[in-house]
Structure 1
Amino acid sequence: MNEMTLVIDDDPSFNAILIRTLERRGHPACGAFDVVSARELARQTGAGQVVLDLNLNGSSGLALIPELLAINPDCRIVVLTGYASIATAVDAVKLGAVQYLAKPVEIEAILAAFEDSDGPDLDLPASDEPLSVDRLEWEHIQRVLNENEGNISATARALKMHRRTLQRKLSKRPVRT
């Protein structure tokens, strides 16, 4: 298996810090900030490990999972998100991710996820509070976006929403709960 780790995250600071931290731990790494560069780097490197952000500039990172696995079927993908939910965790695992972790995350958790052969641990922090309407809307949009493989126009049609309205909603960070 290729030991290269591909970090796919649209936050340049987080991306650079994670790459540096992985390399200090003896794991060669490279980074991509968007879907297009992620595809290209995955083809060039044949990365055996991928750290994938769930939200890539308003696009769902989940749509990349099948593509990454098509490039390297042995690739181990860990999905990171600042907005963890059971629904997206289940989707990520169904698509082939080996783990789903909520940010902030320690490097040890990422490395353990790559090594773990027991499968994903979906013990996300549970809340007694119901999700807010805004949060439910964001999760529904993400689910439909994933079903439409990241296609904004198709997602807007499925949601019966104007494309520009959807783009505005996707450009905003979701509320936590």
Structure 2
Amino acid sequence: MKLKGAEKQFWWHFGHITDSKHIPTELPGFTSIDSLVDDDYLAMLFAKVSVMRSVYLKETLITDEGVKLISNVKQLKHLTLMKHENITKACLPYLNKLTDLEYLDIWRTQIRLEDITVLKDLKNLRELHISPHNEGVEESWDTILEKIIKAEETLPNCIINT
């Protein structure tokens, strides 16, 4: 079956795919750094690709809505969402659905150390990168340590990097 319109253009740019029977349902990973990838791009990608082991996004245009789309990906073990100012704690319920995650990087998003106590379902998470506080806000090491201890109670098998 031939693709039409925006979908045709998307899959051509993604992998020179012109026939829908050649669109993969599974990919090992997806990476985009300092790009115009946005929620619409992810919607097009994840409308067809349902299994992926790694997503690496750094300084793209995705928001909490993009994280919602990512949360439907099966077998996702590594997720990097580094440096996205439009990703907030509102997406935490979606991240919590990614129960296969072993690695999560949400450093320099709007999600803070004290927000992650809702991530109770991420039992396989082994490494988390997160900002301890908002940029420009100074906190004592005692305060940060208290937040780390509380986060470690939520994710006891996880190394938390701030």
Check whether TM > 0.5. Answer: no
Which has the bigger relative contact order, CA under 8 A and spacing at least 6? Answer: 1
Q: TM-score, normalised by structure 1?
A: 0.35
Q: TM-score, normalised by structure 2?
A: 0.38
Bigger Cα Rg: 2
Higher helix share: 1
